């Protein structure tokens, strides 16, 4: 398991946290099915202990994925379909955050909020 799951955010330097997140994002780009640990697993494990850290760090990744995903489910310049992993991450965040996830999404561009609602199967 990732050291990220077992360490307190205040004990890890910012560059280390960003490197861990970028490595996980790289895995998402390569293959949504083999990403281990996946962001959704990190959310489930870490959110109860560090909700602010998850909201601050992982939401930025979710907004990036939702905002840049092409209609085919990939990110520009990256191979592989990340639609399944993005949907799983969206649902994991919603399971932990509830409606506050939608409140955060309200401050994003409309296409990001709409994509999130589609992944969560929420009718607006």
Does the residue 45 lie in any domain?
yes
Residue 54 lies in a domain: yes
Measured CA to CA, the distance from residue 22 to residue 16 in angstroms comes to 10
Amino acid 85: pLDDT: 83
Q: What pLDDT tens digit does each residue of the chain (124 aa) get?
A: 444 444 444 444 455 555 666 566 555 545 444 443 477 888 888 899 889 888 888 898 899 888 887 676 656 655 566 788 888 899 999 999 999 999 999 999 999 999 999 999 976 5
DSSP codes of every residue in 35-56: -SS-HHHHHHHHTTT-HHHHHH
Give the per-residue pLDDT at 21: 61
pLDDT value of residue 109: 95
23 part of a folded domain? no
Count other Cβ atoms within 10 Å, centred on residue 60: 11
Six-digit token pair at 30?
Answer: 């390569």
Q: 50 is in which domain, residue-wise?
A: 38-69+79-123
At residue 119, what are phi and psi to the nearest 5 degrees?
-65, -35
Say what the pLDDT of residue 43 is: 86
Q: Is residue 29 part of a domain?
A: no
Q: Do 75 and 29 form a contact (C-beta atoms < 8 A)?
A: yes
Q: Measure the CA–CA gap between 122 and 22, rounded to whole angstroms.
A: 29
Position 123 scores a pLDDT of 60
Q: Does the residue 32 lie in any domain? A: no
Structural domain includes residue 8 = no
In a domain, 63, yes or no: yes
Structural domains counted in the chain: 1
pLDDT of residue 6: 46
Evaluate whether residue 15 is within a structural domain: no
- Under a CB-based contact definition with an 8 Å cutoff, are residues 81 and 32 in contact? yes
């Amino acid at each position: 398991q990732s050291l990220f799951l077992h360490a307190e955010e205040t004990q890890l330097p910012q560059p280390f946290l960003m490197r861990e997140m970028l490595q996980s994002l790289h895995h998402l780009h390569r293959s949504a099915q083999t990403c281990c640990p996946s962001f959704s697993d990190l959310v489930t494990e870490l959110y109860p202990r560090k909700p602010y850290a998850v909201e601050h760090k992982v939401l930025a990744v979710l907004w990036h994925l939702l905002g840049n995903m092409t209609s085919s489910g990939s990110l520009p310049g990256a191979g592989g379909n990340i639609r399944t992993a993005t949907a799983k991450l969206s649902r994991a965040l919603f399971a932990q955050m509830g409606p506050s996830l939608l409140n955060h999404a309200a401050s994003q561009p409309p296409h990001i909020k709409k994509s999130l609602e589609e992944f969560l199967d929420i009718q607006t």
